[in-house]
């Protein structure tokens, strides 16, 4: 059931990513040319971010295609983690882009060049419209996949960035205040840094097999130990294989010697708690009738 959901989710996400990739590529060309001819750093910064969007979207699509390859004896989970690696790469790329924009903005504080404000403003408005549409297309899928979420953040921050460029263009057109260009660029760099750090951290958390956000490991342990016939739950591990596909493994010590039928009944209830109440798709539980012999007489409880 979980794998079917993941496959369906991936199909919707791929369609959304393909549509947005076409839109963003077109607007990258428009803004790059517009920034070059109007001498606007803010517009060039927006175009540069759009170029990273193109790479992020292409990488996200490639990750989905690789993740669809079947599992093998060497990769028993298949290639699902490729999606998380793609999200990590996109997060780091955002940080690199932020550093570059910040550096260029600092240089222009010293000697702000004259900008062709009206053409810049028209291009920025067009870019904002295109990026807003792209963000709306990706929004639904971004709730279900860290990979798509990373691409969505690229596009959404670009939409905000384009709005900032529109504001800078309006200031320069009205007041001929060309410092607005590097100031807006610096604000954009800070915004990109924040979002890049969040995506990078979320990706690393998954790759380090941390407990998925939204899953209360202690609460789940207590719920499992309340099941009739269960004495103790130990060696409990919960991690994310890929976005929307969490896994659990645990050892469960029974209160007493139970029949095979009763033990299976307990196991069924435990599976229902993990999958139904906590949304864990891949559940592996080992039933123990008696505690193993540990050197110190205790079970390790991670």
For residue 264, the model assigns a pLDDT of 86
Question: 292 vs 196, which has greater pLDDT?
Answer: 196
Both 15 and 163 in one domain: the answer is yes
Decide if 169 contacts 28 (C-beta within 8 A): no
Give the domain extent around 270.
Answer: 217-288
Last residue of one domain, picked from the residues 149, 175, 207: 207
Last residue of one domain, picked from the residues 207, 229, 249: 207
Both 96 and 183 in one domain: the answer is yes
CATH code where residue 17 lies:
1.20.1510.10
Both 182 and 243 in one domain: the answer is no
Query: Mean of the pLDDT values across residues 236-264?
Result: 84
For residue 237, the model assigns a pLDDT of 93
In what helix (H) or strand (E) does residue 227 lie, and over which residues does it extend?
A: none
Q: Is residue 293 part of a domain?
A: no
Is 80 exceeded by the pLDDT of residue 122?
Answer: yes
Decide if 46 contacts 28 (C-beta within 8 A): no
For residue 223, the model assigns a pLDDT of 92
Both 89 and 237 in one domain: the answer is no
Question: 3 vs 71, which has greater pLDDT?
Answer: 71
CATH code where residue 252 lies:
3.30.70.1350
Both 66 and 189 in one domain: the answer is yes
Both 67 and 189 in one domain: the answer is yes
Q: Is residue 252 part of a domain?
A: yes
Average pLDDT value for the chain: 79
- CA torsion sign for 106, 109, 115, 117 is positive
Both 125 and 33 in one domain: the answer is yes
* 300: exposed, middle or buried (Cβ count in 10 Å: 0-12, 13-18, 19+): exposed
Both 176 and 196 in one domain: the answer is yes
233 by DSSP, 3-state: which?
strand
Both 152 and 226 in one domain: the answer is no
How sure is the predictor about 1, in pLDDT bands with cuts at 50, 70 and 90? very low
Both 134 and 236 in one domain: the answer is no
Both 223 and 131 in one domain: the answer is no
Last residue of one domain, picked from the residues 139, 172, 207: 207
For 281, which DSSP code? S
Q: Is residue 301 part of a domain?
A: no
Distance (Å, rounded) from C-alpha 237 to C-alpha 233? 11
Both 85 and 108 in one domain: the answer is yes
Q: Is residue 299 part of a domain?
A: no
């Amino acid at each position: 059931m979980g794998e079917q959901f993941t496959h369906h989710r991936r199909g919707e996400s791929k369609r959304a990513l393909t549509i947005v990739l076409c839109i963003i590529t077109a607007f990258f060309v428009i803004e790059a040319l517009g920034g070059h001819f109007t001498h606007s750093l803010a517009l060039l910064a927006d175009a540069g971010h759009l170029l990273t969007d193109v790479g992020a979207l292409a990488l996200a699509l490639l990750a989905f295609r690789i993740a669809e390859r079947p599992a093998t004896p060497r990769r028993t989970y298949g290639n699902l983690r490729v999606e998380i690696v793609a999200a990590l790469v996109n997060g780091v790329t955002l940080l690199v882009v932020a550093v570059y924009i910040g550096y260029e903005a600092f240089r222009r504080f010293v000697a702000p060049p004259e900008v062709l404000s009206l053409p810049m403003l028209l291009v920025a408005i067009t870019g904002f419209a295109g990026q807003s549409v792209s963000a709306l297309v990706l929004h639904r899928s971004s709730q279900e996949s860290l990979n798509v979420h990373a691409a969505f953040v690229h596009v959404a921050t670009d939409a905000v960035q384009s709005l900032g460029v529109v504001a800078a263009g309006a200031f320069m057109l009205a007041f001929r205040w060309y410092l607005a260009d590097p100031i807006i660029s610096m604000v954009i760099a800070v915004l990109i840094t924040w979002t890049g750090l969040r995506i990078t951290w979320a990706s690393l958390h998954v790759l380090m097999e941390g407990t998925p956000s939204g899953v209360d490991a202690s609460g789940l342990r207590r719920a499992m130990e309340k099941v009739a016939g269960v004495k103790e739950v130990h060696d409990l591990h919960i991690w994310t294989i890929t976005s929307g596909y969490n896994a659990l493994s645990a050892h469960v010590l029974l209160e007493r010697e139970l029949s095979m039928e009763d033990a299976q009944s307990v196991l069924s209830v435990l599976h229902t708690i993990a999958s139904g109440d906590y949304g864990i798709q891949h559940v592996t539980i080992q039933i123990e009738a008696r505690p193993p012999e540990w050197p110190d007489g205790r079970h390790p409880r991670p």
